Structure 1
Amino acid sequence: MAWLPDDFVHPVHVPLPGGAHHLRPIREADTPLDYPAVMGSRERLWSIFGPAWGWPVATMTYEEDRVDLLRHEKEIAAHQSFNYALLDAGETALLGCVYIDPPEKAGADGEIAWWVVDDLVGGEVERALDELVPQWIAAAWPFKNPRFLGHDITWEDWLALADHS
């Protein structure tokens, strides 16, 4: 069974309410924006994603990030998984990411996770993203039972689930 329908077209620009920020598929060329965003929030991101994904490691280099973003770009083109960058209107700052992946664990047909940089935690942009993502997934993606990691299930509970067969 395919993860997504063959004719599915992924969104390429998703505005956040207010118009000052948007989501778009991440690219290798975003490394100059991604690396400082990730490493500037690394400790908090590790506390969220480390146990499940082993990311981001404290020793991640710029080149390792570039290679990772190239992998994401290729996976997006192949519709294997998706990483959307949260950017300001001029795309001068990467402020977070949204991941849309095939299910690793049983009970869902897509797994979605997201983050913002430390400076935006608890603020208006994070609240807008938290509100937008489930609505966007429901409206634009073909999932019947998406799972929102860290939102509708804790990471700890997710790790305890049976693997998707």
Structure 2
Amino acid sequence: MTLRLRDIGAGLIFASLAIAGYPAFAEVSEATKTVAMTASAPQPSFVAADFTVPTLIEGPGFKLVPLGPDLVKVDFDAYMSSIEHLQRTFSRSDRWPRQGITDADALRDMENEQSRFAGRKSFAYAVLTPDGKRERGSVYVSPSPVKGHDATVRMWVTKADYDAGFDAELYKWVTAWVQKDWPFKSVVYPGRSIEWATWDSMVAASKAGPAVSK
């Protein structure tokens, strides 16, 4: 939240009146100070500051590296090769991937993922062949929107890799990797460890907040 200059000015006026002996303004001044402190308080990161986030992980027949602008071409080629497959199995939407995604769109997406990774807000990885020339899929480690869970992990693989059985292999490997190398106690794999319908209901309930009794 950004405090406007007029809000700050009002706070200074209230503080001055409070010092002059106006108790009502003292209460307002304290409220203004609380708002200012809340606005300037740093937001907690997704993982602890002393946790070393993995940046190169080698698996059987693949490796994981953070998504970023350097991978825009192989990432684009991967998801555009599997539009209908990913709309059905991953995004559950016709908005991504879709025909008409431009180079600028793809680059902006990679810059956003890189920024979130650097800010420790979420962690998106490309699943590459060992030589790094082809992307087989992606893995996303993100904060959980539902209380009681530390993180959500989602992943996709191309249609060709899915047909070759790689999706099941990757899921098995990722669950073991997350359990071993990440600090989470409770991780959800939407659409895998929990049915999509159940997860969607939990997310909706979390956004709605607790029910208010009359």
In the superposition, the TM-score normalised over structure 2's length comes to 0.70
CA deviation after TM superposition for structure 1 residue 2, in Å: 4.5
Counterpart residue type for residue 130 of structure 1: Y
Aligned pair partner of 2:154 in 113, 129, 145: 113
TM-score normalised per structure 1 = 0.89
Q: What are the superposed Cα offsets for residues 96-153 of structure 1, whole Å, 9 maximum, x if unpaired? A: 0000001123331100011110001143533321211110101111110000112101
| Gap change, CA 1:145 and 1:125, over 3 Å in 2 | same
Give the structure 2 partner of residue 48 of structure 1. Answer: 89
- Point out the structure with the larger helix share: 2
Of residues 61, 69, 79, the one that matches 2:120 is 79
Distance 1:42 1:103 in 2: 26
How far apart are residue 46 of structure 1 and its match? 1.3
- 1:1-165 → structure 2 map (5 Å cutoff): 2-17=45-60, 20-51=61-92, 54-161=95-202, 162-163=205-206
Q: How many residues align?
A: 163
Q: Structure 1: any 5+ residue segments left out of the alignment? A: none
For the pair shown, the structure with the greater C-alpha radius of gyration is 2
Query: Aligned partners of 1:119 and 1:54: how far apart in 2?
Result: 21
Larger relative contact order, structure 1 or 2 (CA cutoff 8 Å, min sep 6): 1
Q: Distance in 1 between matches of 2:125 and 2:91?
A: 19
> Is 90-99 or 104-113 further displaced after alignment?
104-113
Match of 2:212 in 1: none
SS at match of 1:163: helix
> Matches of 2:194 and 2:98 in 1, distance apart?
24
More strand by share: 1
Q: Give the Cα separation in 2 of the matches to 1:6 and 1:96.
A: 28
Shift of 1:52: 7.3
Counterpart-to-counterpart distance in 2, 1:125 and 1:57: 23
Give me the identity figure in percent: 26
| One-letter amino acid of the structure 2 residue matched with residue 29 of structure 1 | D
Q: 1:18-42, CA deviations, whole angstroms, 9 ceiling, x for partnerless residues?
A: xx31111111110110111111111
